[in-house]
Amino acid sequence: MTQLSIEREIELTGRIGTIVKWQAYGLNEIELDIPPTVYPPREDTRLLDQTLAELRGTKGKSLLEIGCGCGAISIAASLRGWKVSACDVNPLAIAATRGNASKLGIEWGPEVREGGPGDIGNWEPQQGVDVIAWNLPYLEPDSGQSLGPMEDSSLIGHDESKQLLDAITENSKLLNSGGIVLMLHSSNQIGHELSRSWRKAGWATRNVSNTSLGDERLTVVACWRPFENSQMIRLESCQSTNDQVLNLDNATQGTLVSTEKQVSGRGYAGREWCNSPGGFMGSWLLSNKSIERGAENIQLASTVAILDTLSAFMNLGLPSHSWIHGSALENNGVRVKWPNDVWLRTSAKIGKLCGILVEGRTQGDDVQIVLGIGLNKTPIPELDESIGWNELFSESIEDLIPVIHASVASLLEVHAMIDDYDAECVLSSIFTSMRMSLSEGVPLSYGLDDSGGLLTHEGVVRTTGEIQWTWI
């Protein structure tokens, strides 16, 4: 690694800068002055810029760009009508951003600050913003030493997004209500840690765009406060959490009702839904737009939310962010039984860990969709074939609720600014988690169709009919 030294930084800053032509998404080409040691716009810059340009409902919105470099993204956002703030730990980057903006008639002045998350500098804007964007450091230090030690030192080494998470936790007004954080990361271990660390902190996370760059896969992930305007209601007991949600007046999407004891709970095809001591029993009201995806897709997306929750507490990658992470769960005995069950195989037994039920109610033009989930902490005394999450991790129901709430939002919340979940990724993650169960005694499936139906030798099986399984 390049040695961090004042002498080396001064040597490189004495070199002649370059001028590059750059075209932001949907805008005219501009010229940017790039001082030595400042990161120039590359393919990752284009990806993050296009993601910002394609956000919905951004008229009059405000942006904070962290690590602004030469100012390419901040300038493009300003030209699109955003109110922009920016920061960077490199003072030459601050000078470049201000200079390049000034050439285009944009005068930011104090809105471009030196510093960043984890830095003692005064980098935070005076008012909260609607979007925070950060092209996170992910490159190896430059072997050609074209960047300075100060820039090299910030490229890799740890999940810097945690520093931003800490900053927003300390100053909740940094991100406005309904706002999102966009972070570009690579498909390396640090990239996988990003979504997991934010999810465990109770934030919803969703991949919104990606591209391949050689052997590297770059992804922009959105993070937001889950179901921000909803209620979370905890009851000592109730007849059915699904019924409780459906009977609420003026409830918004994401309203959650959970209980310690469900007296008349029901599962798939009207089967009894029994309680697990210390387990989770809860229901969410979903947006009525959810039904556009179809019953199978809602249940499968909900199942991925459960897989994400388990993965977060087991310190594994989240399946909703990459289907390959389902294999790690399989190695720990977690199995998906289509369409609505998660099972766990240990050396001692195999048992049902989680059940999912999606129901709807239509009254005239009003459609209500409710998602019910039961996740066992310990085996259910009345059921021999049951098992609990205590076989996988030791966290309590109090630890679990914010994470499962965030996981459901990550897959199923209809957000005003970003697209819905990627159905193809959900199907890939589910099938990855089904493969082991198919080889262990449910040999009737050839896969899933595009809408989440089960392909069998007799055709496509839908959730609308009774399904008989043999589990070995």
Separation CA 436–CA 421 (nearest Å): 25
The pTM of the full predicted model, rounded to 2 decimals, is: 0.88
Domain containing residue 283: 232-461
My answer on whether 276 and 174 are in the same domain is no
Gap between the Cα atoms of 235 and 409, Å rounded: 21
The answer to whether residue 260 is domain-embedded is yes
Query: Is 409 inside a domain boundary?
Result: yes
pLDDT of res. 445: 52
The answer on 154 and 267 residing in a single domain is: no
Same-domain check for residues 345 and 399 = yes
| Binned average pLDDT, 10 residues per bin, the chain of 472 residues | 44 67 96 91 95 94 96 96 94 93 86 88 91 83 45 51 94 96 85 92 96 87 96 92 91 94 65 78 92 80 96 95 88 85 90 90 81 93 87 96 98 95 86 68 58 66 53 36
Q: What is the pLDDT of residue 8?
A: 46
Q: Check whether residue 59 and residue 181 sit in a common domain.
A: yes
Residue 112 bridge partners (DSSP):
86
Strand 83-88 relative to strand 112-114: parallel, antiparallel, unpaired? parallel
Answer yes or no: do 213 and 241 share one domain.
no
Inter-residue contact 197 to 223 (CB < 8 Å)? no
In a domain, 466, yes or no: no
Domain count, the chain: 2
Q: What is the CATH number of the domain that holds 272?
A: 3.30.930.10
Torsion of CA 398, 360, 337, 353, to 10 degrees: 20
In a domain, 72, yes or no: yes
- 278 and 220 in a single domain? The answer is no
Asked whether residue 190 falls in the same domain as residue 282, the answer is no
Task: Say if 470 falls within a structural domain.
Answer: no
Q: Is 361 exposed, middle or buried (0-12, 13-18, 19+ CB in 10 A)?
A: middle
Q: Is the domain of 51 the same as that of 112?
A: yes
3-state secondary structure of 195: helix
Q: Is 198 helix (H, G, I), strand (E, B) or coil?
A: helix
Does a structural domain hold residue 1? no
Residue 137 lies in a domain: yes
